[in-house]
Amino acid sequence: MKRREIMKSLSIAPFAGGLMYHDELMGKAKKTNQQSDQNIYRSLGIEPVINCRGTFTIIGGSIERPEVLKAQEAAAGHFVQYDEMAEGVGKRLAEITKTEWGIITSGCAGAMKHVTAACVTGGNPEKLVRIPDLTGFDKTEVIIPSYSRNAYDHALRNIGVTLVTVDTPEEMEKAINSKTAMIYIMTPKASETGEPFSLEVIADIAKPHNIPILVDAAAENLTIPPVHLARGATVVTYSGGKAICGPQCTGLAFGDKNLLMSAWQASAPHHGPGRDNKVGKEEMMGMLAAVEAWTTRNHPQEWQTWLDRLDYISKKVTKIKGVETEIKEPSGLNNRAPMLMISWDPNALNITGYQVAEDCARKAPRLAIGDGDQDQKAWVTVTPSQMQDGEEKIVADRLHGLLSEKRPALTSDLKAAGVNLTGHWDLEIQYFSSVSKHTLFLEQEDNWVHGLHQGDFDQRNMVGMVEGDQVKLRSQFRVPGDNVTFLFSGKASDESMEGDIHLGEYLTAKFTAKKATYKKNRKPIEIPGGPPLAT
């Protein structure tokens, strides 16, 4: 199907209207070359990406396996009662994984949220429908080792619990009280067997108090039975759309049946705090098929295929003088895939790792690759686990072309600053649907700027640079488990600035700033010689 034909069909009816070819939606399109005009995303004017990073949600997670697509298609043509489906799925997951029970959720974060609700409510619907108002609840606290604080623990906080962060086993023991609902840890951060604050140590502390332990193993390979349950966890959760290659919108939870039944009760289609975490019957059956397939996949052959792809790329790029490669193979379960590191002297090839990755990200054929620059060494990384057949040739040609291209020498010379930003600035940030008033306190030395950025909730350091009237500034807002980087770029004068703010995964904003002026009061100030004689 030509692009103009796809666009014509889109103009006639939405995708659900059935005018797109059935086999394109249900599997044939998956096999289509990434560069083909038949790529469905080009019908929206979007240039697709070759995934050389791994199972990152921001670029789609993983490619669903053929078994998953077949199961989803089979499930789509029928109706089923959801609790009966969950019962059947739970039994089958338990059989496959040699666990007591399993449930399918809306991503690993959904599983974490529902398990937290289960620990808070104990399966009591009177409590469930009051979440996130936990007033009067017996269990309202979740303990987390500081090494496990992360951006995904929002899923726990969505229930309304108070997070209690601890750094040692002794602190955990002291933190446990009658309000402790659950202990949460994220793998693999410092939780390995033998570590002073490992899962086994935590289990020894929690078991006498009958406190459930939730292990977040989102990006891990599934072990059968899940290794963390044997180490002392009550429930372990996984992403369905990462290594297991199920639907991207699904997650898995395995472990204690009674707790997981309470978690299922807290999820859609049941009303309450999990109603917004709906999973379709098609995705549930697709995820079950992915777990079934996991047990029959030829994992050693998959690994060899990944190595073969990296070897092809390595042989191509090392034809360039000064380019070296190394394959790194992880030993743990997390993000388990080999990775090719391609390195060079940036002053020899006149390009940095960041510049290579940025060029690959913005220009077709687009590649999502890792990058780095340190100590006169530049590199990019390629992870092959989600690359499709033949894409290694596109990747090899793209990287070879970039690294072998003739270009001017890198220079650190900057154009002289044409403005002076030293001073106190009143900053206005225009987000998509609100405005924030911030303050900057800046000092400039030649091209370089440093100072403070007073935001909505904190004051943080700011650094930046000026060339001519062009300004670039950077600050970072941090809270436990999260951070937001503000990258300002724009035009400045001695009295004003305006431009854009790049907010990473939070997209962009606009900013304007004016140098603050002060009301001049030049009256003498008298200092008393002692305490006042009257008030």
* Beta strand spans in 155-195 (E): 162-166, 180-186
pLDDT at 257: 98
For residue 36, name the pLDDT band (cuts at 50, 70, 90): low
Instruction: Flag whether pLDDT at 122 surpasses 70.
Output: yes
Task: Give residue 193's pLDDT band: very low, low, confident or very high (50, 70, 90).
Answer: confident
* 286 close to 69: Cβ distance less than 8 angstroms: yes
Q: How are beta strands 141-145 and 180-186 bridged, if at all? A: parallel
Q: pLDDT at position 520, please? A: 82
Whether the predicted pLDDT of 189 surpasses 90: no
Spatial CB neighbours of 382, under 8 Å, sequence gap ≥ 6: 52, 310, 313, 339, 340, 342, 369, 370, 395
DSSP 282-300: HHHHHHHHHHHHHTTS-HH
Distance CA 101, CA 94 (A): 5
Mean pLDDT of all residues in the chain? 92
Q: Residues 427-464: pLDDT tens digits?
A: 999 999 999 999 999 999 999 999 999 999 999 999 99
- Give the model's pLDDT for residue 114: 98
Q: How far is CA 76 from CA 40, 71, 281, 364, in A?
A: 21, 9, 8, 35
Can you list the domains of the chain with their CATH numbers? 3-46 (no CATH), 66-294 (3.40.640.10), 299-404 (3.90.1150.180), 423-515 (2.40.128.120)
* Helix (H), strand (E) at residue 459: strand 459-467
What pLDDT sits at residue 191?
73
Indicate the pLDDT class of residue 17, thresholds 50, 70 and 90.
Answer: very low
Q: What are the helix (H) ranges across 129-195? A: 154-157, 169-175
**pLDDT-above-90 percentage for the chain:** 86
Say yes or no to pLDDT of 13 above 60: no
Instruction: Report DSSP letters for 32-86, one per residue.
Output: S-TTSTT-GGGGGT---EEE-S-S-GGGTS-PPPHHHHHHHHHHHT----HHHHH
Mean pLDDT of 132-138: 97
CA distance 132 to 125: 13
Residue 220 gets which letter from DSSP?
Answer: B
User: pLDDT tens digit string along 45-104?
Assistant: 999 999 999 999 999 999 999 999 999 999 999 999 999 999 999 999 999 999 999 999
- State the pLDDT at residue 84: 98
Residue 25 in this model has a pLDDT that exceeds 90: no
- The DSSP bridge partners found for residue 370 are 381
Confidence of residue 250 (pLDDT cuts 50, 70, 90): very high
The answer to whether residue 184 scores a pLDDT higher than 90 is yes
| Whether residue 30 has pLDDT greater than 70 | no
